[in-house]
Structure 1
């Protein structure tokens, strides 16, 4: 499982002209699910993300977690995080998980966020989405459960 986590001051996701998810200060999590990913990996990934101390404290040091700043989370499915560009110029996405299982694990991950924060916004799995954000810093972190 892979996540691209962006610290944001605001983020939203739009489908067919309608905003379906919107947050203020917090994390935009672009989440990719691979073939062999499991609920245990989703738990491990969320545990890492939820505890990341990448918000600034009163001294300007990145010392505060999502909970410390009462941050929000927008989770958007992103199978393209499994793009393989080794051959040619057209990416292959064969390493991405099968849609039904990937959606199940995406929903499971969002449920973990909801459990811990009480609120989570999401995109629409498999839909053509437009994601807008104001990256704060900018601060972007790449996480992969294969190396956590």
Structure 2
């Protein structure tokens, strides 16, 4: 699984003009299940995100995690993280999980992250979503857990 993590002071996701997920300080996690991923990758990625030390401590160093700060997470599915741009100018997405698997793993990731402690809000898999965020830092980090490392 892949995720692009952004530390935010606030974030929201809107579908058809209605806000369906909204958080305060924490992380926006754009998440993509890849072909061959399983629950194990989703759980390992959620655990990694929950413990990732990207929040400042009293000394101003990035030394605190989402769990340490009581931060929130907005989890949004984004299959375009699977883009292959190695040939031509049109990205290919054949390495993304099939939609049924992608949705199940996305929901499993969000549920497992919530079970670890943070408040979790989500987008809607497959929907045309509008995501708004106020990036904090900015801090943006790429995470990837492959079946070989899970």
Please give the TM-score of this superposition, normalised by the length of structure 2. Answer: 0.95
C-alpha contact 2:71 2:118 (8 A) present in aligned 1: no
Quote the residue 1:56 is aligned against.
Answer: 56
| Match of residue 38 from structure 1 | 38
Deviations 1:33-64 (A, max 9, x none): 11100100111111111111110011101111
So what's the TM-score if we normalise by structure 1? 0.96
Is 1:27 the counterpart of 2:27? The answer is yes
Match of 1:104?
104
8 A contact 2:34–2:82 mirrored in 1: yes
Q: Any gaps of 5 or more consecutive residues in structure 1? A: none
Cα distance in 2 for residues equivalent to 1:63 and 1:87:
39
Aligned to 1:123: 123
- Contact 2:2/2:81 (<8 A) preserved: yes
Unaligned ranges ≥5, structure 2:
none
RMSD: 1.2
Confirm whether residue 70 of structure 1 aligns to residue 70 of structure 2: yes
Superposed CA offset, 1:94-146 (max 9, x none): 11100001100111011111212263100000000010101100000001113
Aligned length: 148
Distance 1:61 1:112 in 2: 28
Distance 1:22 1:135, change over 3 A: same
